[in-house]
Amino acid sequence: MILGLKGSCLPKGCYKGIVNRGGAENAEGGKYREIVTYKVYNIFSPRSLRLRGLKFLKCLTEVFSLIAIIDYGMGNLRSVEKAFAKVSVPAQVTSDAEVIRRAPGVVLPGVGAFADCMKHLQEYGLINVVKEVIDAGKPLLGICVGMQILFETGEENGQHQGLGVFGGVIKKISGNLKIPQIGWNNLHFAKDNPLFAGIPDHSYVYFVHSYFAVPTDQDIVAATTTYGQELTVAVQKDNVFAVQFHPEKSSAIGLQMLKNFGGMIK
């Protein structure tokens, strides 16, 4: 056991530690006297410094290997984080711009209104950070309204500017339907996509939305669903992936998608 007391006659950086404590019989008095054996530890020895340095580097590696789930006050943050944990993909919720920039992969969640999400992202000073992550070629996954704000404009409660990563507009679902769409619906894959690796076509996922994306470029459409009409519910271009549904609430299918996203991280 190492004691937290520096020996007064020891060199700087050296500490005493008890390595043995016992008793010895005093033949004259029949009593016991305590015998204490000390060992001196130099906490600044090359070996000690090396071990502490390795632990520090290991800690840094673990921190910067985490997927960053962007916290800007609009999203199911903890449920997404827990879903990643279920598939053993390290992730952390953060609003720190530097942590997001250094992360090997980023998730942009979102719930609520298009304009509110953009407003919060601006207030948190993270709009340019998201764009920097994309420009750096790191995998980014937009979820629900996090997908919608990646488009140029949204028509929810007026016309609002998005991030403009994808060309197109976010429109309200029309027709004699229950709005929002809440519940399970199946996917129709439009093209091969690493996010859907190992997932059968027509798999069911969980939706909560009143608006959907109308992309300018149909080549980015990764999956659609049918709700009165065909709706684009997943898009992908280069390192940017986005889904309208909630993978964190979509049981084994959604967990597989998050695991696939984690597998893209270098």
Q: Which of 81, 117, 209, 246 is catalytic?
A: 246
Pairing of strands 166-172, 160-161: unpaired
Token representation of residue 208: 């909560």
Which is the catalytic residue, given 81, 144, 160, 209?
Answer: 144
- H-helix segments, the chain: 46-64, 77-86, 97-102, 114-123, 127-135, 145-148, 251-263
Output the six-digit token pair for 70. Answer: 């962007």
Instruction: Respond yes or no: is residue 248 known to be catalytic.
Output: yes
Instruction: Answer yes or no: 246 catalytic.
Output: yes
Contact 242, 234 (CB under 8 A): yes
Other Cβ atoms closer than 10 A to 235: 28
Distance CA 133, CA 136 (A): 5
CA angle 140, 146, 148 (to 5 degrees): 115
Phi, psi dihedrals of residue 62, rounded to the nearest 5°: -65, -40
For residue 198, what are the CA distances in angstroms to 191, 193, 237, 259? 14, 10, 20, 11
Active-site residue, selected from the candidate residues 81, 117, 156, 248: 248
Mind telling me the catalytic residues?
144, 246, 248
